Structure 1
Amino acid sequence: MNRQVVIEKIREGHRGAVLENEKVQEWMLDDPGAPLQDGMILSGKVSNVIGNMEAAFIDIGAAKHGYLHKKEHPAHQQWKISQEGREPNISSLLQPGDKVLVQVKKEAAGTKGATLTMLLNFPGNYVVFMPYGGYAAISKKLDDEKRSELRTAAKTWLRGDEGLIVRTNAGEQPAEVLEKEFYALKEDFEALAEQGPGAPGTIHLDQSSVVSRTERDFLTDGETEILTNDASLVARWKRQHPETASRIHWRSEVSLFITMGLDRELEKALRPFAWMKNGASLMIEQTEAMTIIDVNSAKYTGKGAGELSGTAKEVNLAAALEIARQLRLRNIGGIIIIDFIDMKTDEEREEVLSALKRAVKLDRTITNVIGFTGLGYVEMTRKQSRRTLEYMLTDTCDTCGGAGRIVRNSALGEDLHRTLLALDSVEAALIDVSPRFYRWLLREGKERVLEGVKTEVVLRENPAAGHFQLARTGTMETLRTKGDLIQENN
């Protein structure tokens, strides 16, 4: 498989896209709107213990308290491994006022606070150290001989209840390299444990950024090509990992997303409607309880078109592949219900189900395809860790009262800013903008949009513009009367 990761430097960090066989499969976005993100280790204070829920609510310095089930406590993990004595209840594990170190398992979303664990893990490039894991897991993608070798070595490193996971990319490394990283991660944990919890919300470890995730998941895998416009990042990676130098490439464009057409792909991923190449389509509806995906034959023109039974199976097989991709693109998690087109035989249904199971194996996020329900729907689950793409980039629509979503003005402002920077050789530009975005620009967004922009910008309010579009470029003399000139100080 040909994999490429594109990382674009933006004002608030980075954003990235994972392309497999030249097709976007996953977005990576720094999310300043969600300060407590998946994998963060932070201090908390027990606010309330609920016995009948076997859970505690933890003050982590956020608007909503985090949720911690008793199974996420190290003492319960020890009981689970040993099975000695009675299973501990939450009241014997935690009391209000206790200070704890917790890790975010699932980010806060909607009305729910973050889901937390005290079973900390420390991810590295090749191994993940789990102080309370109690087991050693070796990637199943490695051959049996290598797995046996690494398992034997790992057992000599572990003490007591410690555990670790060995990643697939460790297969090309000698055991000494993995051992060195293991002990470095262990030292990080021991230093944190000695320091102890601080004030609620104090962040001790954050590996949620685009750069950290790229370093952990792709940089050292030996096959992924990395393309970025961040020169300092290229220099650092080549210095720290010289063996990756041939796979890291620098580009000078201000916006790689615009140059490579990724901005249009990102916009498509925010729409509830997704077309497939064969003319069929998916309708994806995200709710707080679950996500529902409806498969439609629509304008299907492929094999079996015109024959109901043939159309159903062929559309569903193609839809299974696209559904797996859309779940990754949109970072959809939780319960997912799929309404495939009705099929006549159990053999056809099993074929579609098998295709879906094969497709989700490419997903690095834990996904479980359960099967068909009695009503003929497919049910599946996908681990939800970070906020969905929709929640990261859209706001509740004032007009419809929350029934729909609209792209945030701040996100549109960043896109317009990058567009204007790319026009640095143009004297003036006429930009058509939607009424909502137009008001935001004049009221509060113009300074951010015009920062570092050399081009004179004339805005024209246009309800048919979508969000915004470049209408014309030219001289200031020819464009001045077409709309409103905006400047940082006007």
Structure 2
Amino acid sequence: MGGARPDLRGARGREGHRESAPAPCLAQVRRVHRHRPYRGARLEAVGEVVRQIRLRDLGGIIIIDFIDMEVAEHREQVYRQLKKALVEDKARTNVLEISELGLVEMTRKRVRQDLRALLSAPCPTCKGSGVTKSDATLATEIFRVVRAKVRSAEDANGRDVVVRVHPDLARYFEGDGQEALERLTRALERKITIQPNHADREGYEVKLRGGAPQ
């Protein structure tokens, strides 16, 4: 995984790094002081790892990497210590035994709702999807509506078109979208006025001068 990794430091020279992503989460435990026994450092690190898991209320798949755990007996001791430390965790957990590579796979169900979900609401523009329509896409939609409105209006002859859009989109029509707007103006043989006074990023109104909003 890319990016900086926050340190998880404990007593007597043990150090951990934690990385998180939607799934899985990775906690890496390594020995900092060369003169500390591998097993002792890992046993002490178990408590810190569990504390961080509970503190951050991690959920889903969690992988703990106990580096250089080559002795089977040491892996078993660390595994039992981990199971013991998780007894007090109110969340439902399932822990697999440590592999020969020193990896522990476990699952955990979050106790509380995600903090981000508690403190935020879906974006009213993208409806929580994380993406919005591009300026070019919105312009194409607007041009389609303008053509339809002009062609369907019985009294459209001689009347100008007024389009209310978000200020960001209005700037697009002054820049990259200006040429397309001019082509539409010539094709319809009427003036098209862009008004930058619509609050919704993807919202717009099209009307003939003096007509009712669409």
What TM-score do the two structures reach when normalised by structure 1?
0.22
Structure index of larger Rg: 2
What TM-score do the two structures reach when normalised by structure 2?
0.48
Query: Greater relative contact order (Cα 8 A, min sep 6): structure 1 or 2?
Result: 2
Which structure: greater strand fraction? 1
